[in-house]
Chain A
Amino acid sequence: MRQSAETQFARNAERYARSTVFADSDNLSMLLRVVDPQPHWQTLDVATGGGHTAIACAARTRHVTATDIVPQMLAAAGRLARERGLTNIDFALADAEALPHPDATFDLVTCRIAPHHFNDPARAVREMARVCKPGAWVAVIDGIAPPDRAVADEINRWEAERDPSHVALLTVNGWSALFCAAGLEAAHLSTLDLRLDFDEHMQRADVDAQTAAALRRRLLCGSPAMHDWLKVAVEGDTITFNWPLILIIGHKAAQA
Chain B
Amino acid sequence: MANVSPELLEILRCPYCVSGATRQPGDDPGRLTLYRDFWLVCQTCPRKYPIREGIPIMLIEEGDKWSGVNVEDLPVPPPTT
Q: A-side interface residues toward B, CB under 8 Å?
A: 42, 63, 65, 67, 69, 71, 74-75, 90-95, 97-103, 105, 123, 127, 130
Contact across chains for B19 and A90 when beta carbons are under 8 A apart: no
Give Cα A67–Cα B55 distance, bound, in whole angstroms. 10
Say which size band chain B's interface belongs to. 20 to 34
Considering only residues 1-45 of chain B, those with a C-beta below 8 Å from chain A are 4-5, 7-8, 11-16, 18-20, 27-28, 30
Chain A residue with the shortest CB-CB distance to B51: A92
B56 on the A face (CB < 8 A): yes
Contact across chains for A69 and B11 when beta carbons are under 8 A apart: no
The 10 A-B pairs of least Cβ separation, nearest first, read A100-B58, A90-B8, A98-B15, A100-B15, A98-B19, A94-B58, A93-B57, A92-B56, A92-B58, A91-B55
B69 on the A face (CB < 8 A): no
B76 on the A face (CB < 8 A): no
Cβ contacts under 8 Å, A102 to chain B: 11, 13, 18, 28, 30
Q: B-side interface residues toward A, CB under 8 Å?
A: 4-5, 7-8, 11-16, 18-20, 27-28, 30, 49, 52-60, 62
- A157 to chain B minimum Cβ distance, whole angstroms, is 29
Cβ contacts under 8 Å, B5 to chain A: 90
Give Cα A102–Cα B5 distance, bound, in whole angstroms. 17
Contact across chains for A130 and B19 when beta carbons are under 8 A apart: yes
Chain A residue with the shortest CB-CB distance to B52: A71
Chain A residue with the shortest CB-CB distance to B19: A98
- B31 to chain A minimum Cβ distance, whole angstroms, is 8
Contact across chains for B13 and A101 when beta carbons are under 8 A apart: yes
- B6 to chain A minimum Cβ distance, whole angstroms, is 10
Cβ contacts under 8 Å, B4 to chain A: 90
Contact across chains for B19 and A93 when beta carbons are under 8 A apart: no
Please judge, given known A-B contacts A100-B18, A102-B28, A123-B20, whether A65 and B59 are in contact too, CB under 8 Å.
no
Contact across chains for A65 and B8 when beta carbons are under 8 A apart: yes
Contact across chains for A93 and B59 when beta carbons are under 8 A apart: yes
Cβ contacts under 8 Å, A67 to chain B: 58
Please judge, given known A-B contacts A92-B55, A93-B56, A94-B58, whether A99 and B7 are in contact too, CB under 8 Å.
no
- A selection of 23 A-B contacts at a CB cut-off of 8 Å is A42-B11, A65-B8, A65-B11, A69-B59, A92-B56, A93-B55, A93-B56, A93-B57, A93-B58, A93-B62, A94-B15, A95-B60, A97-B19, A97-B20, A98-B16, A98-B19, A98-B60, A100-B18, A100-B49, A101-B13, A102-B13, A103-B18, A123-B20
